[in-house]
């Protein structure tokens, strides 16, 4: 049996007594989900907890996906493996009537969003999480709370941490060279 964690069985909600039904399922992600520098890798275990609320002719699914991400710090290029939870809310239609009604509204919006369908009492949340991850995960992820190099810097006052952060490791040698020249001049004219 497929273990795609983004496939949620909504039969209990659709054919039940009208109350929301919460399910939780863990399985390997069927695809890489996230922007270029950090994402849920394909095959990474994802825990999806979904609350399915029956609507007339459809369902509302509020879901969270929790997984360990894999990425790379854009400053020091260290591997990042934070665990993040992504939250989505998505309506799925269960009948053509539902789609028609919504399509008219969508036309007025000009949004053109398609309402995904319930297929055989299953909804697929993957696209919702793909969209949400694209919006919410950082495009320029960095070490938290700071890159190891940054924590070693004693932090002289007057120099913003941001400036230190931006020094590329490849230019560190050059920085030292410049600092040495500067140092000679400033030490001789102190208290002048």
Between 3 and 68, whose beta carbon lies closer to Zn ion? Answer: 68
Asked if 143 interacts with Zn ion (CB under 5 A), we say yes
CB of 151 to Zn ion, least distance (A): 10
Q: What is the per-residue burial (b if ≥16 Cβ within 10 Å, else e) of 159-169? A: eeeeebeeeee
Closest C-alpha to 77, from 164, 174, 169: 169
Rg from Cα positions in the chain: 25
Piece of 108-116, 123-131, 137-145, 184-192 that binds Zn ion (CB under 5 A): 137-145
Question: Which of 7, 12, 37, 76 is in the footprint of Zn ion by CB under 5 A?
Answer: 76
Indicate the residue among 170 and 192 with the shorter CB distance to Zn ion.
170
SS3 of residue 17 by DSSP = coil
Judged by CB, which is closer to Zn ion: 34, or 75?
75
**Of the candidates 73, 123, 133, 137, which one interacts with Zn ion according to CB under 5 A?**
73
Residues 6+ apart with CB under 8 A from 124: 4, 6, 7, 8, 116
Residues forming the site for Zn ion (CB under 5 A): 73, 75-76, 78, 143, 147
């Amino acid at each position: 049996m497929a273990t795609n964690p983004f496939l949620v069985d909504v039969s209990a909600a659709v054919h039940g007594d009208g109350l929301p039904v919460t399910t939780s399922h863990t399985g390997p992600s069927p695809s890489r989900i996230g922007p270029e520098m950090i994402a849920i890798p394909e095959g990474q275990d994802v825990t999806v907890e979904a609350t399915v609320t029956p609507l007339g002719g459809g369902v509302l699914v509020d879901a969270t996906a929790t997984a360990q991400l894999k990425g790379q710090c854009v400053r020091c290029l260290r591997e990042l493996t934070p665990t993040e939870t992504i939250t989505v809310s998505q309506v799925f239609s269960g009948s053509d009537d539902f789609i028609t009604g919504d399509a008219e509204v969508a036309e007025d919006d000009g949004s053109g969003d398609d309402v995904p369908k319930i297929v055989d009492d299953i909804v697929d949340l993957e696209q919702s999480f793909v969209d949400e991850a694209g919006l919410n995960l950082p495009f320029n992820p960095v070490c938290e709370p700071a890159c190891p190099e940054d924590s070693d810097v004693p932090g002289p006052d007057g120099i913003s941490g941001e400036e230190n952060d931006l020094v590329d490791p490849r230019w560190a040698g050059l920085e030292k060279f410049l600092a040495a020249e500067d140092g000679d001049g400033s030490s001789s004219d102190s208290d002048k």
